[in-house]
A and B are shown apart, each in its own frame.
Chain A
């Protein structure tokens, strides 16, 4: 543990948050990983305010902890899945202020003050148009990647309510489905876009 004054801490989190977001937005995974590796040496625990699925909560946690493990291990929200840990498969996809992000590469500190939405919070009754379309098309085989697929699809439809095939292809290309349900995923997004 490193002792820091309150002011230092605040600066630190702000810098972590800012740099992480820049790295993610710029798609600079290597830079981001290096940055994270340096940070891990500090072992700082911090009180971090989060809004997850509309619920405000404070966690005392290592600020470098990826959001994925905060959700899964600390908040018992296990819908987002671990698949690769390097933002290459999309199984961990959640929404950060409405945008699809890979939670395995999102430090919890970078989410402080932002709104996180997981599959559990996508709709109150499991009736988001994308979820309904997934059920209608009987998309799933093993089902493991589907929460991530649904979150990517829901984020796409938010910005692009009537996506073209190409827009769907581009938005969904980061989500691997090992069972090969891509055609049903595509068709379900088309159906959801009509509702």
Chain B
């Protein structure tokens, strides 16, 4: 258990403190001086719960419990509190909460931020509001039921009395916590559903320190690592003679991230446990010394040095074999035998590196009896015990501060670097900031798995879909989701799933599994619709109608009506069916992370390259908490997917990742982004569902389907490599 942080100075972190040089520094409590902290403590605000602090000056501070890496949770989660607390959003301050079990899981991932906080944070707001009402009732000697609130003020309209929350907070904090409160209905929302700007928007636009890489600390050293250049390799020899003599270098040594015998898995996964560490005064000096290290690497005993090409061959072999069924409805074998038409297509997708713009880094100051840590963590609660075990300091003496993260996309759920930083700081007996180079980051594994799936569809003489079969797998995970559409809409259905073991490490990447299978399935359905001579939207709607009225099987994990709803909405908004001269259109729809998305892509081919004119999105994610940020996240999901579909690829040769920086690893750039994106949310009173991930998977399909219209070629392999595909079969010029 973590102890509650009860002193005011420990709560006042992430302030920007002016430096003599004219710059600013990020200021956690333990980075500011004791003098400054005690000065702050003069006007200690009253804490009504872990989430709400009210100052006598009327300033209301809301705590953002989950770490932020661009999904807007630092803004949208406090909005949930504000809704029920009934305050003026313009007069509040939002602070990022540190890691503390009182804030629950604090996990940002799985498109789960708003979903998991929906009830708890509104309840926190309602509870504090009720305590303020009760305080006023007792002070004024009137019944609490006669009291109302509005924009941070408590009113007793009968007597004409009123008081701002700041005047009542001290009294309110002494009262028992009320329970069983009724939360507002959707129709009464004032904050939720109102576009609210990013609470860090001004700081970002003015270059204020917000990220761990911006942290300064008195006596802080810079640490960098060198990891093995490939999977299955370990250090054979190290010559650091030259590097040691270089200016600013304090020490060079090797570490094991985890001690021998530690069971490492799940979110504690690490790729390269044995690291060479260079510590010095400044980043540039350490970078230069790192380059001067002479290292030799050798295969670990029994290790296979894998390559993309050999993996692909193994995957092709596996695709031909019958494997265990993940789901079977009806008699698929008979359906395929009796079919008038059978369509079979195989899709593949490569490893992807997450490549968040802020390379991996972490701050650690480990002393004899405690550890002060700060860093980009999607799941702080999942690494704390590993750190504690490794440095021998109990969890209640480990303070983890959460900074804004320069992207995550899943990568920062695997926070081995936090352990590395703690070990290095402990050894150096100094505060250190561990900084990976882009190359260390990109070649560091934890990739999106290498996937494939083979689809078969059986059509009868009347072009009805009578059989559907998916057999998919990957290295080392499979993306097959057996109970998703079109399961439930086809009488004879078979899903098979297999995996191939590998020493290439993988991890969650924006919409894990779905990020491949969604696009593959939606490309395939487009081809099946074409073979059946049906409009691709009408074809899907027919299947969904079947799933709604007469579902096959019990375990279908989607709501066919909501699924059809987004298709109908995108059909309307995109004027689907009306021909637009010169424009190639593609459609896709997918359900994941409890949300429904349908997309239409309009593109034109210019010199064998797609120019995406417009993307139409129809999204059903329940109540939309912050429309402006929700739309931004949807736009980003589309752009990210288009980039990965066209360019995203990490290849491996002899165990070594072949791309290490943005010169070779192509990311989508400004010119390649769609010229316009429309986002249409289904009006809904249902509880909110995910948004960070659901836009991503179907876009691979919508884009491939539009490209087919524009090029007459189907795109089965990611990345699509359009120019190469279009040059196929043509004589070299």
- Do these two chains interact? yes
Question: Looking at A53, A79, A119, A185, which has the most chain B CB atoms within 10 Å of its CB?
Answer: A79
What is the bound-complex CA distance between A168 and B661, given in angstroms?
Answer: 25
For residue A161, CB closer than 8 A to chain B, the reply is: no
Tell me whether A86 and B662 are in contact (CB under 8 A). Answer: yes
Tell me whether A69 and B632 are in contact (CB under 8 A). Answer: no
Contact residues of A: prevailing secondary structure = loop
Set A76, A82, A143, A180: member contacting B673, Cβ < 8 A: A180
Contact residues of B: prevailing secondary structure = loop
Given A76-B24, A142-B357, are A182 and B670 also a contact pair (CB < 8 Å)? yes
Given A135-B205, A147-B207, are A40 and B288 also a contact pair (CB < 8 Å)? yes
What is the bound-complex CA distance between A120 and B68, given in angstroms?
Answer: 23
For residue A8, CB closer than 8 A to chain B, the reply is: no
Complex contacts, A184 vs chain B, CB 8 Å:
632, 635
Complex contacts, A177 vs chain B, CB 8 Å:
357, 670
Q: Which residues of chain A from 173 to 187 have any CB-CB distance to chain B below 8 Å in the complex? A: 173-186
Chain A interface, number of residues (Cβ within 8 angstroms): 65
Complex contacts, A181 vs chain B, CB 8 Å:
632, 635-636, 639
Complex contacts, A146 vs chain B, CB 8 Å:
204-205
What is the bound-complex CA distance between A164 and B671, given in angstroms?
Answer: 13
* B70, chain A: closest CB distance, angstroms: 3
* A184, chain B: closest CB distance, angstroms: 7
Complex contacts, A141 vs chain B, CB 8 Å:
70-72, 632-633, 636
* A108, chain B: closest CB distance, angstroms: 10
* A82, chain B: closest CB distance, angstroms: 7
Given A55-B22, A126-B202, are A169 and B670 also a contact pair (CB < 8 Å)? yes
What is the bound-complex CA distance between A87 and B204, given in angstroms?
Answer: 21
Q: Which residues of chain A from 141 to 195 have any CB-CB distance to chain B below 8 Å in the complex? A: 141-147, 150, 165, 168-170, 172-186
* B288, chain A: closest CB distance, angstroms: 6
Complex contacts, B435 vs chain A, CB 8 Å:
82
Tell me whether B204 and A120 are in contact (CB under 8 A). Answer: no
Tell me whether A143 and B204 are in contact (CB under 8 A). Answer: yes
Q: Which residues of chain B from 196 to 255 have any CB-CB distance to chain A below 8 Å in the complex? A: 197-198, 200-202, 204-211, 213-214, 216, 222, 246-247
Complex contacts, B408 vs chain A, CB 8 Å:
142
Q: Which residues of chain B from 67 to 105 have any CB-CB distance to chain A below 8 Å in the complex? A: 68-72
Which chain A residue has the least Cβ–Cβ distance from B641? Answer: A180
What is the bound-complex CA distance between A155 and B697, given in angstroms?
Answer: 36
Which chain A residue has the least Cβ–Cβ distance from B248? Answer: A62
Which chain A residue has the least Cβ–Cβ distance from B71? Answer: A141
Tell me whether A169 and B671 are in contact (CB under 8 A). Answer: yes
What is the bound-complex CA distance between A131 and B70, given in angstroms?
Answer: 18
Set A65, A119, A144, A180: member contacting B211, Cβ < 8 A: A144
What is the bound-complex CA distance between A23 and B156, given in angstroms?
Answer: 73
B55-63, B165-173, B383-391, B399-407 - interface stretch: B399-407
Tell me whether A183 and B674 are in contact (CB under 8 A). Answer: yes
Which chain A residue has the least Cβ–Cβ distance from B68? Answer: A142
What is the bound-complex CA distance between A109 and B285, given in angstroms?
Answer: 16
Tell me whether B632 and A178 are in contact (CB under 8 A). Answer: no
Given A144-B406, A147-B207, are A173 and B670 also a contact pair (CB < 8 Å)? yes
For residue A16, CB closer than 8 A to chain B, the reply is: no
Q: Which residues of chain B from 623 to 647 have any CB-CB distance to chain A below 8 Å in the complex? A: 628-629, 632-633, 635-640, 643
Tell me whether A131 and B205 are in contact (CB under 8 A). Answer: yes
* A30, chain B: closest CB distance, angstroms: 11
Known: A62-B284, A179-B407. 16 other contacts (CB 8 A): A65-B284, A69-B282, A78-B23, A78-B207, A118-B207, A122-B207, A135-B197, A135-B201, A140-B201, A143-B198, A143-B200, A143-B404, A169-B670, A172-B670, A178-B667, A186-B673
Offer 16 A-B interface pairs, CB within 8 angstroms, sorted by A: A73-B282, A75-B22, A76-B22, A78-B24, A82-B283, A122-B207, A131-B206, A135-B202, A135-B205, A143-B406, A178-B409, A180-B673, A182-B669, A183-B639, A183-B674, A183-B676
